[in-house]
Amino acid sequence: MAYDFDLFVIGAGSGGVRAARFAAGFGARVAVAESRYLGGTCVNVGCVPKKLLVYGAHYAEDIGQAQGYGWTIDGATFDWKTLIANKDREIQRLNGIYRNLLVDSGVTLLQAHARLVDAHSVEVEGKRYSAEHILIATGGWPQIPDIPGREHAITSNEAFYLETLPRRVLVVGGGYIAVEFASIFHGCGADTRLLYRGELFMRGFDGSLRDHLKDEMIKKGVDLQFNADIARIDKQTDGSLLAVLKDGRTLEADCIFYATGRRPMLDGLGLDQAGVALDQRGYIAVDDEFRTSVPSILAIGDVIGRVQLTPMALAEGMAVARRLYKPAEYRPVDYATIPTAVFSLPNLATVGLTEEQAREQGHKVTIFESRFRPMKLTMTESLERSLMKLVVDAETDRVLGCHMAGPDAGEIMQGLAVALKAGATKRVFDDTLGIHPTAAEEFVTMRTPAAI
Ligand SMILES: Cc1cc2nc3c(=O)[nH]c(=O)nc-3n(C[C@H](O)[C@H](O)[C@H](O)COP(=O)(O)OP(=O)(O)OC[C@H]3O[C@@H](n4cnc5c(N)ncnc54)[C@H](O)[C@@H]3O)c2cc1C
């Protein structure tokens, strides 16, 4: 049967664009439908604008610290509107780049919502298109728990477009988006509180990093409230918000920001009609090669709910394009040893196993840890400290995990991720020359175990 396209991709986000471009480059006839914004979450309301806002927030510290280096910066003021307008301009530029990437690689771009009709067809704006394969890459969407007054709260989607910086912000959540936005709001000058219902935020990260981030955020002046959750939000007559907590306390704020989880974006997608099954968590169920319960329909990225990070969506998109159209280059996606960074202030970064995971998995471990004041801060009044940690298998000497909190942690961790991927031992780290004077050299100069 002749199809209109070889591959029809729904969603021009991280995963969809990668799959579409490479499939077209391998010679496939490809169409992409995008209902909202080119580049998806990462480019428009995720990684990229988030990092730009973190850069903006960090200037508060930079300006303060400059005095230690002899600079007098009188009358420094911050304007949220300028930051948001400049961020919007940059995102528009990136949207254009994504358009060119798709169009220049020969992809047919349809800027509208797509709905599955059956195993081989999709409907866009009332028109049907057939394809040998359909790829669902529709990403995720933030959700706010079903509490009275939830309509008064915002999520990351709205935070990127706030017209003014709220004076008092309540951030609810304990994951990376919560700590990043708490750092952004606080750095930009809002009176910021973070509420998390558990004992300590950043579950899944190494315990030393979690404690360290808690201490550093408190030092910077963010009010962290653990074991706390909101039962109800009331709008007060002056327009401000009152959060009534489950323990009966009340907190006033001008903005309540929820970062308590994301759901797969399946709205109006026609999964039932096409017979595509979900897994127990409500994400699209796929096999090892990203086939759904309907084999001609594939799914990748946040909508399958594996590891919700842009590089994972890219890797999954690449794997699909190669398997279908360049099988000689196909390699399965590797979900082990995923490096990641959190752009809180201070930054966190990690690759490999946490100490807790390594012990749980039965490794006998040796722990190396270094805590220090970054050199750049020694001539300033900043009390911020950095943390670096290695988790080493005591029997094989393999480095199982690297963890860091401090400036440029993500930049440093990327190189260490290569070392871990290559199976580096602690001996290899020890035999590597440091680059002096840097913070990163600590990773190759830690000699005395902190714990075994
Ligand atoms: C605030 C925030 C910060 C983040 N920071 C980071 C970070 O620092 N590093 C990192 O690696 N990851 C980060 N992420 C996660 C990252 O953005 C996602 O993992 C990534 O975007 C997932 O890519 P995707 O292709 O699965 O989906 P998306 O990028 O979400 O793309 C899905 C696209 O599909 C479109 N779509 C949905 N339904 C339809 C339909 N029916 N028809 C047509 N189009 C449709 C959507 O409009 C969207 O453009 C962040 C996420 C958030 C929310």
Determine whether the shortest distance from the Cβ of 156 to ligand 1 is under 6 A: yes
Read off the pLDDT of each residue in 337-348 and give the average, rounded to a whole number. 97
pTM exceeding 0.95: yes
Determine whether the shortest distance from the Cβ of 138 to ligand 1 is under 6 A: yes
Determine whether the shortest distance from the Cβ of 14 to ligand 1 is under 6 A: yes
Spacing, Cα 31 to ligand 1 middle (Å): 19
Do residues 269 and 251 both lie within one domain? no
Spacing, Cα 136 to ligand 1 middle (Å): 12
Which H or E run includes 431? helix 426-431
Closest residue to atom 6 of ligand 1, CA basis: 47
Tell whether the model's pLDDT for residue 11 goes beyond 80: yes
User: 335 in a domain, yes or no?
Assistant: no
Determine whether the shortest distance from the Cβ of 47 to ligand 1 is under 6 A: yes
Do residues 275 and 129 both lie within one domain? yes
Q: Where in the sequence numbering do the catalytic residues fall?
A: 436
Determine whether the shortest distance from the Cβ of 42 to ligand 1 is under 6 A: yes
Determine whether the shortest distance from the Cβ of 347 to ligand 1 is under 6 A: no
Ligand 1 atom with the shortest distance to the CA of 114: 42
**Which of 16-20, 299-303, 445-449 comes out lowest in average pLDDT?**
445-449
Torsion sign over Cα 402, 212, 384, 185: positive
Closest residue to atom 37 of ligand 1, CA basis: 138
User: 451 in a domain, yes or no?
Assistant: no
Which H or E run includes 447? none
Spacing, Cα 160 to ligand 1 middle (Å): 15
Do residues 361 and 440 both lie within one domain? yes
Q: Which of 205, 225, 260 is the last residue of a domain?
A: 260
401's tokens: 């995990």
Condensed to tens digits (0 to 9), the pLDDT of residues 245-265 reads 999 999 999 999 999 999 999
Tell whether the model's pLDDT for residue 1 goes beyond 90: no
Radius of gyration of the chain (CA): 24
Read off the pLDDT of each residue in 137-144 and give the average, rounded to a whole number. 98
Determine whether the shortest distance from the Cβ of 37 to ligand 1 is under 6 A: yes
Q: What pLDDT is recorded for position 370? A: 97
Tell whether the model's pLDDT for residue 448 goes beyond 90: no
Do residues 168 and 256 both lie within one domain? yes
∠ CA 379-382-385, nearest 5°, is: 100
Do residues 124 and 270 both lie within one domain? yes
Determine whether the shortest distance from the Cβ of 308 to ligand 1 is under 6 A: yes
Do residues 19 and 159 both lie within one domain? no
Q: What is the DSSP letter of 292?
A: -
Ligand 1 atom with the shortest distance to the CA of 311: 11
Q: How many CB atoms lie within 10 A of CB 49?
A: 22
Instruction: Compute the residue count for the chain.
Output: 452
Spacing, Cα 129 to ligand 1 middle (Å): 24
Probe residue for ligand 1, chosen from 138, 284, 312 as the CB with the greatest number of ligand atoms within 8 Å: 138
Q: Domain of 247?
A: 150-260
Q: What is the DSSP letter of 336?
A: S
User: 336 in a domain, yes or no?
Assistant: no
Paired strand residues for 169: 192, 255
Do residues 179 and 218 both lie within one domain? yes
Read off the pLDDT of each residue in 282-309 and give the average, rounded to a whole number. 98
Determine whether the shortest distance from the Cβ of 35 to ligand 1 is under 6 A: yes
**What does pLDDT average to over the chain?**
97
12's tokens: 């021009």
d(CA 215, CA 195): 15
Spacing, Cα 318 to ligand 1 middle (Å): 16
Tell whether the model's pLDDT for residue 304 goes beyond 80: yes
Per-residue pLDDT band for 188 (boundaries 50, 70, 90) equals very high
Q: What is the DSSP letter of 433?
A: P
Tell whether the model's pLDDT for residue 447 goes beyond 90: no
Question: Strand 127-136 vs strand 340-342: parallel, antiparallel, or unpaired?
Answer: unpaired
Q: What pLDDT is recorded for position 139? A: 98
Q: What is the DSSP letter of 164?
A: S
Task: Report the percentage of the chain scoring pLDDT > 90.
Answer: 98
CB 117 within 8 A of CB 270: yes
Do residues 237 and 306 both lie within one domain? no
Read off the pLDDT of each residue in 224-243 and give the average, rounded to a whole number. 97
Phi, psi of 274 (to 5 degrees): -85, -10
Q: What CA–CA distances, in Å, run from 280 to 19, 137, 262, 303, 312?
A: 26, 19, 16, 13, 21
Determine whether the shortest distance from the Cβ of 95 to ligand 1 is under 6 A: no
Paired strand residues for 250: 244
Q: What is the DSSP letter of 19?
A: H
SS3 content of the chain, % helix, strand, coil (to 5): 35, 25, 40
Do residues 80 and 185 both lie within one domain? no
User: 280 in a domain, yes or no?
Assistant: yes
Question: Strand 5-10 vs strand 127-136: parallel, antiparallel, or unpaired?
Answer: parallel
Supply the CATH number for residue 395's domain: 3.30.390.30
Closest residue to atom 52 of ligand 1, CA basis: 46
d(CA 196, CA 170): 11
CB 81 within 8 A of CB 163: yes
Condensed to tens digits (0 to 9), the pLDDT of residues 29-56 reads 999 999 999 999 999 999 999 999 999 9
Is 164 exposed, middle or buried, given 0-12, 13-18 or 19+ CB atoms closer than 10 A?
exposed
User: 256 in a domain, yes or no?
Assistant: yes
d(CA 348, CA 403): 8
Q: What pLDDT is recorded for position 452? A: 75
CB 45 within 8 A of CB 180: no
User: 438 in a domain, yes or no?
Assistant: yes
Do residues 365 and 410 both lie within one domain? yes
d(CA 398, CA 234): 54
Probe residue for ligand 1, chosen from 47, 50, 303, 316 as the CB with the greatest number of ligand atoms within 8 Å: 47
User: What is the number of domains present in the chain?
Assistant: 3
Residue 319: left if φ>0, alpha if ψ -120 to 50, beta else—which one? alpha
Supply the CATH number for residue 290's domain: 3.50.50.60
d(CA 129, CA 135): 13
d(CA 180, CA 171): 10
Spacing, Cα 42 to ligand 1 middle (Å): 5
CB 5 within 8 A of CB 134: no
Which H or E run includes 346? none
List of residues 6+ apart from 344 with CB closer than 8 A: 176, 179, 180, 182, 183, 213, 217
